[in-house]
Amino acid sequence: MKALLLENIHPGAVRIFKAAGFKIDAVSHSPGKKMLTQMMEDVAVLGIRSKTRIGPDILQRAPNLSAIGAFCIGTEQIDLSACSAKGIPVFNAPYSNTRSVVEMALGEMIMLLRGVFDSSGSLHRGVWTKSAAGFHEIRGKRLGIIGYGNIGSQLSVLAESLGMEVVYYDVEEKLSLGNVRKVSLKELLRRSDVISVHVDGRESNRNLIGQREFAAMKKGVLFLNLSRGFVVDMEALARHIRKGRIRGAAVDVFPEEPESNKVPFVSSLQGLPNVILTPHVGGSTEEAQAGIGAFVAERIAAYFATGSTITSVNFPPYQPMGKTYLHRFAHIHENIPGMLARINDVFAQRNVNIAGQHLETRGAIGYAIIDVEGPCNEGILSDLEAIPGTIRVHLVY
């Protein structure tokens, strides 16, 4: 089986795929759509990062494609419904760069509280600025985290260990770690010394933090956004920094980001005091890249070896329980009534005893795992494929 890995995927992933028996074709860039369709004929696994777009046109030209690895966090570049309709699970790496983002946010809080970037800039220009006035320790300050997911909750753990008092606001019920408290957004805005935004990219979060929210913040607050650019009204942020209501900010994500390093970057935050601007690199570390490579490649190798779909973003979740039988079939089908009965009938007709079974559905598709003890012949596969509503059948082993 062939794995086509695009966009310079980490060598750790290549090692895992090779050990799982894949032949590798690795390309350092994202080929255009036309070129990619020509490359897909014999590809079983496609690995991409954020630049390659996958839609029905590519899938139609990929008759052997069985799994896609998004070696990144987001999967917006992939038409997930089209993948489900073709019985192709998509795996990503939702947590592999969490720690990298958290470390950067914490480091920036300390730099902002001490005005390090401004004093460093002054010294580079030959101006000595020694002073303690207005500079603070992080210890004892109240950190308000908006969005207590993977990143927000890990940030809370490390911030507490540095002596910060942490409160958070989330739209969902979450387990509060350590001594952290959930508060209303209003209280968080009004009482935090440092506010850090870590919400996800759902459309309703557009301009979540704008004029009204900045106006509600305590005077002298520090503000960080390392989540999504469109979540914050940048003009409103710039106005509040100019007025001195916000004492410093660290921004890693922008509503409009240059497509490449050759395109100039423009923002209303440029040139403002005590503002750290970074080019969407919160999660960009070599450790994160290695973690992403290993995580996605291992999930895909497990899918081929056992049928496991755990962490897939579009497939029903199936976690093998350890017990193995002689053969395992995976049946991917339209989520319609009577499927399990028809699958079982195929085995009963051929006098093959089902030793273990699992069915899970998600949206438009169902995923059935059937374990059998006895030997089975080719006919079972073709009978399963012939069931109306079948999308794809695998003999896992």
Is there a catalytic annotation at residue 202?
no
Nearer to ligand NAD, 84 or 153 (CB): 153
103, 118, 200, 334: which one binds ligand NAD (CB under 6 A): 200
245-284: which residues touch ligand NAD (CB under 6 A)?
252-253, 280, 282-283
Nearer to ligand NAD, 111 or 146 (CB): 146
Size of the site for ligand NAD (CB under 6 A): 31
From the list 49, 99, 198, 228, the catalytic residue is 228
Q: Minimum CB separation from ligand NAD for residue 145, in Å?
A: 9
| CA dist 241 → 31, 193, 214, 235, 257 (Å) | 42, 15, 10, 10, 21
Question: Does the protein bind ligand NAD through residue 223 (CB under 6 A)?
Answer: no
- The pair phi, psi for residue 115, each rounded to 5°, is 60, 35
Nearer to ligand NAD, 31 or 210 (CB): 210
Give the rounded distance of the alpha carbon of 375 from its chain centre: 41
DSSP 330-378: EEEEES-TTHHHHHHHHHHHTT--EEEEEEEEETTEEEEEEEESS---H
Q: Which segments of 50-97 does DSSP mark as H helices, in order?
A: 56-60, 80-85
Q: Which segments of the chain does DSSP mark as H helices, in order?
A: 11-19, 33-39, 56-60, 80-85, 98-113, 116-124, 150-161, 185-191, 211-216, 234-242, 286-306, 339-349, 378-385
Nearer to ligand NAD, 150 or 306 (CB): 150
- The pair phi, psi for residue 366, each rounded to 5°, is -120, 155
Contact status, residue 74 vs residue 312, Cβ threshold 8 Å:
no
Contact status, residue 351 vs residue 303, Cβ threshold 8 Å:
no
Joined tokens for residue 148:
């207590």
Q: Minimum CB separation from ligand NAD for residue 6, in Å?
A: 20
Question: Does the protein bind ligand NAD through residue 372 (CB under 6 A)?
Answer: no
Question: Does the protein bind ligand NAD through residue 172 (CB under 6 A)?
Answer: yes
Residues 106-125, mask of contacts with ligand NAD (x by CB under 6 A): --------------------
47, 87, 115, 149: which one binds ligand NAD (CB under 6 A): 149
Question: Does the protein bind ligand NAD through residue 73 (CB under 6 A)?
Answer: yes
Q: Minimum CB separation from ligand NAD for residue 94, in Å?
A: 6
Question: Does the protein bind ligand NAD through residue 96 (CB under 6 A)?
Answer: no
Contact status, residue 391 vs residue 378, Cβ threshold 8 Å:
no
Contact status, residue 229 vs residue 201, Cβ threshold 8 Å:
no
Nearer to ligand NAD, 228 or 328 (CB): 228
- Taking Cα atoms as reference points, which of 78, 77, 71 lies closest to residue 97? 71
Question: Does the protein bind ligand NAD through residue 97 (CB under 6 A)?
Answer: yes
Question: Does the protein bind ligand NAD through residue 151 (CB under 6 A)?
Answer: yes
Q: Which stretch binds ligand NAD (CB under 6 A): 49-57, 201-209, 319-327, 343-351?
A: 201-209
Is there a catalytic annotation at residue 239?
no
Active-site residue list: 228, 257, 280
Residues in contact with ligand NAD by CB under 6 A are: 73, 94, 97-98, 101, 146-152, 169-172, 198-202, 205, 208, 226-228, 252-253, 280, 282-283
